[in-house]
Amino acid sequence: MAYDRDLVVRCIKRHYELLVKAAYFDSAEIRYPPDEGWSDEQLAVDIMRAFGRSEEVIDLLRHLPYIKQLDGDSKDEIYFETQHLSYLRDTWPFKSLTVEKCQGKQLFDKLLMPSPEDWPAGFIALTQDIYATWWIIDTAKGILHAVGTGYIEPPKDEPWLLGSVPHDIQQYFDEIYNVIEGLTMVPCPKGKNSWNRTIQPYTWEIGSVCFVLLRFDDALLMFAN
């Protein structure tokens, strides 16, 4: 399948906006790029080039929305045990990185890839964490690799794909949209007994609350229109 930058951007944007609809976080926490994309001053372009990322990858990063950390905490999830990655300079880990610090290093050394392999220039991770499902976009082939969902042997000539399951990008995010909207996977806002926001498999207690929030939001939209 041919790579389509705008398709990736639409899928990520829709995913974040679904989490807003579920009252998981506020719409103000989504940082949308300007029409022309994030500038070199805003986006860690020089660091991505130091890590050997392709211009196609950098172009994708310029046009993605990112999540603002209003709580000063990077532990909020956008999928089960999975945190998003921002490539803006004022976010972790880029606010403490320089090109010099990245010389001779791999993306894995800065927790930007799940393994210390020599990842091809057209690959970029959109999520991370120790137990995460890493969403890795291959801009050369136009597919998403979900890495971390189990032990899967990589192709002989592609050792970096250990544990990777390839997906059609649109289909993958359609499935995630359906499991969250259908409350098979439930976004749980931060409360009195939780340190950060998480996305958990359905239980009746948390599912019933989120169901009400989703339907109430729909009702408000219908009333407004």
pLDDT number for residue 15: 97
The domain in which residue 73 lies consists of: 5-224
- Which two three-digit tokens encode residue 133? 């499902």
Average pLDDT score over residue span 120-131: 95
Three-state secondary structure string covering 113-177 = CCCCCCCCCCEEECEECCCCCEEEEECCCCEEEEECCCCCCCCCCCHHHCCEEEEEHHHHHHHHH
Contact 192, 4 (CB under 8 A): no
pLDDT number for residue 97: 93
pLDDT number for residue 61: 99
Length of the chain: 225
Cα separation, 221 vs 20, in Å, equals 13
pLDDT number for residue 47: 97
Average pLDDT score over residue span 169-190: 88
Question: What's the number of domains the chain is made of?
Answer: 1
Residue identified by tokens 């931060």 is 190
pLDDT number for residue 220: 44
Average pLDDT score over residue span 109-130: 95
pLDDT number for residue 141: 96
Average pLDDT score over residue span 75-103: 91
Lowest mean pLDDT among 18-27, 107-116, 118-127: 18-27
Query: How does residue 63 score in pLDDT terms, banded at 50, 70 and 90?
Result: very high
21-38 pLDDT, tens digit per residue, is 988 888 999 999 999 999
Per-state percent for the chain, helix, strand, coil, to nearest 5: 35, 15, 45
pLDDT number for residue 202: 61
Q: Rounded to 5 degrees, what angle do the CA atoms 112, 116, 121 make?
A: 65
Contact 139, 57 (CB under 8 A): yes
Give me the torsion for CA of 116, 134, 9, 200, rounded to 10°: -160
Q: Which of 173, 148, 162, 152 is nearest to 8 (CA)?
A: 173
134-173 pLDDT, tens digit per residue, is 999 999 999 999 998 777 888 888 989 988 999 999 999 9
pLDDT number for residue 155: 86
Collapse the DSSP code of 89 into the 3-class scheme (helix H, G, I; strand E, B; otherwise coil) and give the result. coil
Q: Which of 72, 18, 74, 66 is nearest to 186 (CA)?
A: 18
pLDDT number for residue 191: 60
Global pTM reads 0.84
The residue among 220 and 80 whose pLDDT is bigger is 80
pLDDT number for residue 223: 41
| For residue 204, pLDDT beyond 50 | no
Query: How does residue 193 score in pLDDT terms, banded at 50, 70 and 90?
Result: low
pLDDT number for residue 146: 95
Q: Which of 178, 144, 147 is nearest to 161 (CA)?
A: 147
pLDDT number for residue 9: 99
Query: How does residue 182 score in pLDDT terms, banded at 50, 70 and 90?
Result: confident
